[in-house]
Amino acid sequence: MATQQMYPTLFDAFSNYQSQGKMRLSNFHSINRSATGQWAINPGLDKWLGEDSWELMTNYILRPREAPLFDYSTLMLEPTIVYRNLKVPLLIYDPVDSSDLFQDFEKGNRLLQQQHLKWVTHLIYENTGHGVKFQHPARFYNDLISFLNRIKLPPNN
């Protein structure tokens, strides 16, 4: 696993990430001091997520019940259970990419839509990674506005 890039000052961390096109002003809160006193984007997040070791990551994927509770809850998410009593509109942005090794949710999302035709809008974004809104900002915005214009919200009580 790659080690996290550290910077001596907050300015250095922000400048480096912004120059790489990775940092937006809204992400500025993600830069924090690490245990060593240096600056990084979300220092320690990889350890908290159990992603600081390829061996641990692989083990948790293959044996999710051995993962810490947070990892287990994200690995074992069952939308058909979570949304079994769905009674509100739900918009699913589904990024589909050839790199979807462990997170291919297209089939499950399609099934969820079939179970809740009245409530679920399932949009597939081909050749797209995790950052749908960053890779396709105009489409993301237009799809969201279209969804909001179609749904009828109940009046406030």
> What average pLDDT is seen over the chain?
81
- What's residue 143's pLDDT? 96
Give 12-56 pLDDT, tens digit per residue.
888 877 666 655 565 677 888 988 899 988 888 877 777 778 888
Residue 148 pLDDT class (50, 70, 90 cuts) = very high
Question: Distances in Å between the alpha carbon of 20 and those of 14, 24, 27, 45, 136?
Answer: 10, 11, 14, 21, 19
Q: What is this structure's pTM?
A: 0.57
* pLDDT tens digits along 99-139: 765 566 788 889 999 999 999 999 999 988 878 888 899 99
Residues 76/50, Cβ–Cβ less than 8 Å? no
119, 150 contact by CB (below 8 A): no
Confidence at residue 103, expressed as pLDDT on a 0 to 100 scale = 61
**So where are the chain's domains?**
10-43, 79-150
